[in-house]
Structure 1
Amino acid sequence: MAGDKDTLLAMGFDPARVEWALKATGNRGLQPAMDHILENESKPVPSTESVSEASSSAAPDVNMDVDEDEDAQALQSLGAAANAAEAKSIKCSECGKIFKNTALAEFHAEKSGHDQFEESTEEVKPLTEEEKKEKLAELRAKMAEKRSRKAVEDAAEQKANEQLRRKAGKDMHKVREELQAKEAIKEAQQKKREKIEEAKARAAVKAQIEADKKARAEKAAREKALREGRPIEDVGSSTSTPPPVQSSSSASGVAGKDFKETRLQIRMSTGGQPYTTSLPSDSPLSAVAEFLASQTLDVNVDSVTFAQHFPRKTFAKTDFSKSLRELGLTPSAVLIATP
């Protein structure tokens, strides 16, 4: 009967087992069909053709004296109870939340770490429009909070990275400055050495020039003496006899003319260790300035001045072209140099 079949299907029984039960019981009602289904629940469903026709044509059960309408009502009530007991949701035993399907329950388990779930007869009711709006607003608020938190974390990370970058830049700048300072010191020392060497070379060239001039003068004097038949005299000695002077200073000056070299001690007015040298007595005072400039960078040939403490005397710029002999500095003297 179509009514019995629909009732059994509404109760949740498998359609193939319903067909088997109705055919096997000869369509004698709901109760025999349901008894057949429960008795053969663990057995596989045979094909419809293999079901015995004898069973289908069997006589009605003698005990079937209950009114068919009452059986239907009883079975419908039983089906409703079975449907009511059917699981309609999955419930988290730890927090009490219910989920419509397994996928949502698994998502909740991944997020919360909960692992205790059970089937529930509670039905997940669809959200109303107001609840949907509230859920959407809540979701938007959570997303905004998450974005804000992420922005704060990104800003902090960016700030830390910027600090590291600046520190690295400062360290590199410091290293670069130190390298540049070392290079500048090396360059200054090289220039100082070059300047000293240049001054020494210039002084040596001038001394050689003076020596060459003196040698040429001596040669010319000898040749002239030979031509005139006079005895050869030293060019360094005076060609004319000076008038006799009783002054001791004049006698000292005349005696000084006999020395070919002059030994000098030069002291700086700013202090420090003195410099000593020996120069030809015919060398100009400017040669002393050039010698001093070759020894220290503190002295400039064009600006340095010289003086004597005893006898007290200050040499002017016009004296720089005069020889040490003419200035009375032979055979030795002590000069005070002011840079």
Structure 2
Amino acid sequence: MAGDRDTLLGMGFDSARVDWALRATGNRGLQPAMDHILEHDGQPVPDLGTVTESKAGGARTDAMDVDDEDADALQSLGATATTEVEAKSIKCSECGKIFRNTALANFHAEKSGHDQFEESTEEIKPLTEEEKKQKLEELRERLAAKRAAKAQEEIKEQKAAEALRRKAGKDMNKVKEDLKVKQALQEAEQKKREKIEDAKAKAAVKAQIEADKKARAEKFAREKAIRDGLPIPGEGAAVPVAAARAAVATPSSFGVAGKDYQETRLQIRMSTGGQPYTTTLRSEAPLREVAEYLAGQNLNVDVDTVAFAQHFPRKTFDRLDFTKSLKELGLTPSAVLIATVP
């Protein structure tokens, strides 16, 4: 009815949902339509062109129709068609409830699981205006309660999602902070190791430089003392000038007379220039061992072709001297050799 439709529209319901409710309830009144809207709230509105089959098997809302051809035949024989008493409602045989139409009976069958229905001549009285108002108020309250519950549920879901998001963000930030701290510690440890290694390398270089300077100074002092016939620094008793000169004239007696040196410190210079090589060998070591040492330090040196010479006293060593010891060649306790590579 137009009045029921306007009333439902005035309550704020969608027009398509109102039309669906009125058609589904067979326009039986405002109350069935409101019940239908409430029960199907949230469900999509179907195509109103489709027909819903009734679950109340065998129930009928209209009087039994008489086939048109049979009616014509009866009239031609002078007889009148009879009809059964019109059904006013549908009754559930299991619980005794009475419904205005098939749609409401179907709804009851879906909710309760009952499937035994029958037609009834009992007529459900229409609602009074007071009852309509009361039903409308009840419907509004139920709808408001349902919407409020839905809103509360949505709020809870939003809060839960926000809590999960914040927790995930905190966990990610903690992981990032831990990673930064770990990287900082690793970098600090690496820098510390590098500083220690640099300090060790610098100390080693400095120590080597000092040792080389000291060795050169000692060597220079010894050579100068020998040349001048003065006592050799650090060797104890003074050497007479005549003895020093005799030592210079005789290589086998080079050094302090009567002293047996176990080691000989050598400084080897390349004839082509460059940094000198300094080493300490046994006094009994042959000159060839000096050549082998130099070949290990300089790839351009060949043990079989390298030649050695001495500026003071001036002397050139031949291949036969390579088998003689440093002591025999008068190179103890120290000497400066000039190496020549052909």
TM-score by length of 2: 0.43
Higher helix share: 1
Larger radius of gyration: 1
